Homo-oligomer: A and B are copies of this chain.
Amino acid sequence: MKLHFSESIQQLKTLATREILKLTQGNDIISFAGGLPAEDFFPEKAIQEAFTKVFEQGKNSLQYGITEGHTPLREEICKRMLLKGIQANLDQIQITTGSQQAIDLISKVFINPGDTILIENPTYLAALQVFQGYGANVVEVSSDDDGMDLNDLTQKINHFQPKFIYVTPTFANPTGRVWSSERKQGILQICKEFETILIEDDPYGEIQFNKAADYSSIYSLHSTNDFNPVLYTSTFSKIVAPALRTGWVIGDQRIIQQITKAKQTADIHSSMIDQQALYFLLKDFDLDQHIISICNEYKLRKEKMTHLLHQYEIPAKCIEPQGGMFLWLTMEDSTINSAELLKRAVQNGVAFVPGTVFYTGEAEKNTMRLNFTYTGVEQMEVGIQRLQHVFSSTSNPQY
């Protein structure tokens, strides 16, 4: 029987992240590919205690809940956000199944086929795929180490009248980039002036290696009483544990209402047990102290990996990130196609993400993303050694 799938699902190519996750399941492969946090540092005792408290509440905790999300959890998140300068009341927050669902629901609420979305290039590939799945015309804005080029942004807003702009201004995936204060202020003003929605995706914002630096969100820079054009989304996946699949989106109440409508038809609500457990965790566990300890460990791992790249003379440049989970490498030989290189790497027992998957349009093919959070330091050295072997044994210029 011939199957007639929708155009939107046909537009979704086979997902590279999916193949990446499969690579990590191989026993002998050291994978720097996935965006996984370190399991050793999951606060599993505290999580288990939180679940125990959920069950102590009685059977009502197992019933259906409201689409917006568990109210006490939303209150706790609002309190946490306020400490980051993000002001939001209960009507301005929707709980989602990870921040991935926030990106999907925002897209559902705004995108008509043919609408333009502006992005950084490179950017989070699963967001690209969501936008393309809704039939969007995804257009890159020129970017440098300080963020988007605001002149190019203004021109493209004028030309395309985009539905929204999608950015990850703090420890971007894949580049690890942090936007300068000037660029953050600038894009906020431009979005207000041109009445354009800005999606600020912030899954890594709390993974900071320099606690003295200023990593204010763009959302928090809005200080007036007029409309805040920023939708801010984040997740507990990196700072608590991914299995809970709990994220949130904060923004103008009129937009959140539409997101809630979309959420209700999508899945009614996210797991209420997990949401209640997270509420108890936020209330009774010192999450900030926990975040400090994982940041300390991740900083060590980041330093170890950059040291190893130097020690094993991997022929690539890398700007050391100030936080997040990834190193972004640009290989010295500009003719290298890292997607081809990956095949040889996997044969040699090591995996990474070729940079090409993070681009729309013209890609810098001699780039790769290495995750430094998941792999312990001993295995990390073995992995980088294997990577060295891939480079040194490759004399064929077509790799």
Residues of A within 8 A of B (CB): 1-9, 12, 14-15, 17-18, 21, 34, 36-37, 39-40, 42, 44, 47-48, 51-52, 55, 58-67, 96-98, 100-101, 104, 108-112, 115, 126, 129-130, 133-134, 163, 195, 197, 227, 229, 237, 241-245, 252, 254-255, 258, 261-262, 264-274, 276
Task: Kindly list the 9 A-B residue pairs having the minimum CB-CB distance in the complex, ordered from nearest.
Answer: A62-B241, A243-B272, A97-B267, A101-B267, A271-B271, A64-B242, A1-B227, A48-B55, A39-B59
Choice from B34, B264, B267, B271 contacting A244 with Cβ under 8 Å: B271
Q: Are B268 and A100 in contact (CB under 8 A)?
A: yes
Given contacts A101-B267, A258-B5, A267-B97, contact A243 B108 (CB under 8 A): no
How many Å lie between the Cα of A192 and that of B96 in the bound state? 38
Q: Is the CB of B195 within 8 A of A65?
A: no
For A70, the closest partner residue in chain B by CB is: B243
Docked complex Cα distance between A130 and B97 (Å): 18
Q: Which of chain B's residues have a CB closer than 8 A to the CB of A34? A: 64
| Contact (Cβ within 8 A) A242 B62 | yes
Q: Which residue of B lies closest to A45 (CB)?
A: B55
Q: Give the docked Cα–Cα distance between A163 and B133 (Å).
A: 19
A6-B110, A126-B268 known, 6 other contacts, Cβ within 8 Å: A6-B111, A9-B108, A9-B262, A15-B264, A21-B66, A96-B267
A62 to B5, CA, bound (A): 34
- Which residue in B5, B61, B104, B243 is a CB contact (below 8 Å) of A65? B243
How far apart are the CA atoms of A106 and B172 in the complex, in Å?
33
Instruction: Out of B5, B12, B261, B274, name the residue touching A9 (CB < 8 Å).
Output: B261
Count chain B CB atoms within 10 A of each CB in A227, A265, A276 and give the residue with the most.
Answer: A265
Whether A245 pairs with B271 at a CB distance below 8 angstroms is yes
Closest beta carbon of chain B to A174's beta carbon, Å:
17
Q: How far is the CB of A71 from chain B (nearest CB, A)?
A: 11
* Cα-based distance from A202 to B90 in the complex (angstroms): 35
B-side contacts of A254, CB under 8 Å: 3
Known: A4-B163, A261-B9. A270 touches B242 (CB 8 A): no
* Interface of A: prevailing SS: helix
Which one of B4, B195, B268 lies within 8 Å of A2 (CB-CB)?
Answer: B195
Asked whether, in the complex, the Cβ of B109 is within 8 Å of the Cβ of A6, the reply is yes
Interface centre among A2, A44, A101, A237 (most CB of B within 10 A): A44
Copies in the complex: 2
Cα distance A393–B134 in the bound complex, in angstroms = 52
> How many angstroms from the CA of A262 to the CA of B126 in the assembled complex?
11
CA gap between A129 and B261 in the complex, in Å: 10
Chain B residue at smallest Cβ distance from A96: B267
Between A and B, 27 residue pairs with Cβ closer than 8 Å are A3-B197, A4-B163, A5-B258, A6-B108, A6-B115, A9-B110, A12-B261, A12-B262, A14-B261, A18-B67, A21-B66, A34-B64, A36-B63, A37-B63, A44-B58, A48-B52, A63-B241, A63-B242, A64-B237, A96-B267, A98-B268, A126-B264, A129-B265, A133-B265, A244-B273, A245-B271, A271-B273
- Closest B residue by C-beta to A111: B6
Measured between beta carbons, the chain B residues less than 8 angstroms from A270 are 97, 245, 271
Instruction: For the complex, give the distance between the alpha carbons of A276 and B271 in Å.
Output: 13
Shortest distance between the CB of A178 and any CB in chain B (Å): 25
Q: A4-B110, A243-B272, A258-B9 are in contact. Are A104 and B64 (CB under 8 A)?
A: no
- A296 to B: closest C-beta gap in Å: 18
Shortest CB distance A161–B (Å): 9
Determine whether the beta carbon of B245 is less than 8 Å from that of A268: yes
